[in-house]
């Protein structure tokens, strides 16, 4: 397969109080397996919307998304969830951990959903990988922002995703913690070959990836391959 993600003529509009807001208009690109990619652009340009469509969290208005060879647009909600469970990791800017579950239980949820066995030791192993083996019994509110983001990384890694989408993964973190989270993401790419697609306003982070796709006014304004990292 020469692309793990193929976006063709993708468009997304929202209806608001009888008016149509066109957020994305005719977006086209293909992503190579094992590559690292950044999506950048001004606030409100449609980056989060685009990430959600690529990951199958939302459905496009026009055009198509092919993820790991599967056309998402023709699938039902349940079928899309199944494709996500099997192929995709997603990291949200605001972590989206379940507040009533401990760190360990948050990581166990996707393992349980997939019907895996021995999920507690496996979840502990994942927490250990992000340096939080001793925080398993803490609830999200008892953890710092950086620790919560690392729990969400452990959760996103749990299905050994072929492709990981991260929406401003370092957006709410201090410089030192950002570096730690970045390290974990690039380790995953190097060690497991996981394709990375990061939405970020941090141009230093974007420059560490192999490709920068700039979105402006709902279109691809620039698409630059960084040969040094690609």
Residue 23, interface with ligand ADP (CB under 6 A)?
Answer: yes
Min dist CB 151 to ligand ADP, Å, is: 23
**Taken in order 215, 219, 221, 225, is the CA torsion positive or negative?**
positive
Nearer to ligand ADP, 35 or 45 (CB): 45
Residue 43, interface with ligand ADP (CB under 6 A)?
Answer: yes
Query: How many chain residues touch ligand ADP (CB under 6 A)?
Result: 12
Q: Give bridge partners of residue 20 from the DSSP assignment.
A: 15
Min dist CB 3 to ligand ADP, Å, is: 23
Residue 16, interface with ligand ADP (CB under 6 A)?
Answer: yes
Nearer to ligand ADP, 44 or 131 (CB): 44
Beta strand 62-67 with 36-40 is unpaired
Q: Give residue for tokens 């994305």.
A: 24
Nearer to ligand ADP, 44 or 183 (CB): 44
Beta strand 163-167 with 195-199 is parallel
Rounded CA separation 166/196 (Å): 8
Alpha-carbon Rg for the chain, nearest whole angstrom, is: 17
Q: Please report, as ranges, the residues that interact with ligand ADP according to CB under 6 A.
A: 14, 16, 21, 23, 41, 43-49
């Amino acid at each position: 397969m020469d692309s793990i993600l193929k976006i063709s003529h993708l468009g997304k509009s929202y209806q608001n109080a009888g008016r149509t807001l066109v957020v994305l208009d005719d977006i086209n690109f293909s992503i190579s397996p094992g590559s690292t990619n950044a999506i950048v652009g001004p606030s409100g340009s449609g980056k989060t919307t685009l990430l959600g469509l690529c990951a199958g969290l939302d459905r496009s208005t026009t055009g198509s998304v092919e993820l790991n060879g599967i056309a998402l647009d023709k699938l039902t909600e349940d079928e899309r969830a199944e494709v996500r469970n099997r192929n995709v990791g997603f990291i949200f800017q605001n972590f989206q951990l379940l507040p009533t579950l401990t760190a360990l239980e948050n990581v166990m949820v996707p393992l349980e959903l997939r019907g895996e066995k021995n999920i507690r030791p496996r979840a502990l192993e994942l927490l250990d990988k992000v340096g939080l083996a001793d925080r398993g019994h803490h609830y999200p509110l008892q953890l710092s922002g950086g620790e919560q983001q690392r729990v969400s990384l452990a959760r996103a890694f749990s299905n050994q995703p072929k492709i990981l989408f991260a929406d401003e993964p370092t957006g709410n973190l201090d410089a030192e913690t950002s570096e730690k989270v970045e390290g974990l993401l690039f380790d995953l790419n190097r060690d497991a070959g996981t394709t990375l697609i990061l939405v970020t306003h941090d141009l230093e982070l974007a420059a560490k990836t192999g490709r920068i796709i700039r979105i402006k006014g709902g279109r691809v304004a620039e698409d630059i391959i960084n040969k040094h990292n690609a």
